[in-house]
Amino acid sequence: MTALPNAINDAVVGQQVQAYATFYLPDTTEGYGLVATYEIIDADDAVWTSGTATNLVTSPMGSRTKAIASASVNIPYTIPVEFYGTKYQLAWNLHDAEGQIISSFIESFNVKPAVQAGVYGVPDIVEANTNRTELIAVLPSVEQVEVTVFKQNTVLNDGNPIILLPGNKVFNGTEYSGSMDHTILAGVNSAVSNPELARIRRLEMLARGIDPTVAGATSSAGLTPSLEPYNLYWQYIDEDSGQLNVQDSYLYHVTPMILQAAKELQQRVNRANNVGRLEELTIDLNVIIPFLKQGGDMFNSVGMPTYFNFTMANGPFRHYWVTCAAVLLLRSQYLMEAERSMVMQGQSTQLDIDITQYYETAAADAESFINTYLPEFKQNLNRKGIVDGDGNYEGGAFSRNVGAMGIQLSATTNLYFGWRNYYSRRGMF
């Protein structure tokens, strides 16, 4: 009895491949009751998955009987692979009606990781004001990852996490993805599937000063647009040590006008063509938004303290706000440039890529502008009683009651219809 393999092309972790096996049996072999099984085996003879052929067709071939088995083989996401692929074996066995193996063979195939999904870890998320957040991260291969959402120090969704199951295997870990629906945020995953993880989470909340019994008292069914980010805690239990691992990231849920300001800031500080330059010098949205947040804090801190949130900032508000953010971003870029600055010299060639002086000049000019004009601008706001709001300068937002105006009393002004020591108690307007 012989069996011939039908070679599998390169398989990808987490996907399904169609496998075939062709067996040639003596004509004395009964054609009914035959069952074909398969196993994926590594170099140490460990079995990673097994199954039964979903289809088995027999046909006479002169003095022999031909049997063709086929199966949809799932490549486990937990299977270890190297970046360029790892060799595994697919072992086929053909059983008769009594369960005895009457034919078998082993074929080798290469298992590769899925296409790289992103940088290892949990990224910050910047999204427009929508009702759904897409979650994606690359982490070690574990049973599941649980994401808890915080607004300042308050845990949302009654403390219940968003459950992410493992997906594609990538060369530096496993991809976890899912979505969080804002409109049903208070009702997602009401039960914690892992009791040990739930116990550790309660201890973690107590350590942060959060009472787990009332953690959801202020839960919200949606997310409020703001430059203040939400905190995402990505939690999973290491399968080897059993310890809880926590990584955190920011979720910036912003308005279209904040995105406009982000584009303006990006155009101001990152106009150079980055092709051929260091990738770290390309400033993307995930970098711009945090600096807009810091720029808003700087705006509110210069001169008299104010409390604008900039969700509707336009006109002079947006100009000063973006300029504040530009100072901080250019300073940061300056430090990075200084760390990577180098000069290469030769007999006929000199390469000088030190551009930190240009960043410093741009930041100094912007900062000088802020220090000169922003305090006076904010003093004017303070005189009008405008020390908070959303930064909306449109539609006469400043045309409000400016309050009472004082007047100094003197020998000539302390008169009321000719009588001394009597003066009007009325307001000036």
pLDDT tens digits, one per residue of 131-169:
788 888 888 888 889 998 888 788 887 777 888 888 877
**Segment 342-355, tens digit of pLDDT:** 655 655 556 566 67
Query: Strand 132-139 and strand 173-181: pairing?
Result: antiparallel
First to last CA, the chain: 109
Of 12-21, 217-226, 261-270, 303-312, minimum mean pLDDT range: 217-226
**Segment 211-257, tens digit of pLDDT:** 555 444 333 446 888 898 998 999 999 877 888 899 999 999 888 89
Residues 194 and 161 in one domain: yes
Last residue of a domain, one of 87, 112, 137: 112
Across residues 198-212, what is the average pLDDT?
Answer: 59
Domain assignment present for residue 194? The answer is: yes
Residues 101 and 141 in one domain: no
Domain extent at residue 98: 2-112
pTM of the model: 0.53
Q: Is the pLDDT of residue 363 over 90?
A: no
Residues 293 and 365 in one domain: yes
Q: Residue 249 sits in a domain of what CATH number?
A: 2.60.40
Q: Is the pLDDT of residue 296 over 90?
A: yes
Domain assignment present for residue 174? The answer is: yes
Which token pair is 380? 């004017």
Domain assignment present for residue 120? The answer is: no
Domain assignment present for residue 235? The answer is: yes
pLDDT band at 40 (very low <50, low <70, confident <90, very high): very high
Domain assignment present for residue 281? The answer is: no
Residues 8 and 108 in one domain: yes
pLDDT for position 189: 35
Q: Residue 95 sits in a domain of what CATH number?
A: 2.60.40.2550
Q: CB neighbours (10 Å) of residue 211? A: 10
Domain assignment present for residue 15? The answer is: yes
Residues 99 and 134 in one domain: no
Residues 189 and 304 in one domain: no
Question: The dihedral of CA 418, 419, 420, 422: what is its sign?
Answer: negative
Q: Give me the DSSP letters along 124-179.
A: -EEEES-SEEEEEEEE---S-EEEEEEETTEESGGGPPEEE-EEEEETTEEEEEEE
Query: Strand 101-112 and strand 11-12: pairing?
Result: parallel
Report the percentage of the chain scoring pLDDT > 70: 69
Residues 148 and 239 in one domain: yes
Domain assignment present for residue 144? The answer is: yes
Asked if 108 and 89 touch (Cβ cutoff 8 Å), the reply is: yes
Q: Give me the DSSP letters along 268-280.
A: HH--S--TTS-GG
Cα dihedral 200/201/202/206 (nearest 10): 100
Residue 250: closest CA among 210, 211, 301, 288: 288
Residues 85 and 155 in one domain: no
Residues 55 and 139 in one domain: no
Q: Is the pLDDT of residue 295 over 90?
A: yes
Cα dihedral 313/318/321/327 (nearest 10): 150
Residue pointed to by tokens 């939690």:
235
Across residues 40-44, what is the average pLDDT?
Answer: 88
Q: What's the farthest any 2 CA atoms get from each other in the chain?
A: 136
**Segment 377-386, tens digit of pLDDT:** 888 778 878 8
Residues 108 and 129 in one domain: no
Domain assignment present for residue 272? The answer is: no
pLDDT for position 207: 59
Residues 62 and 33 in one domain: yes
> How many domains does one find in the chain?
3
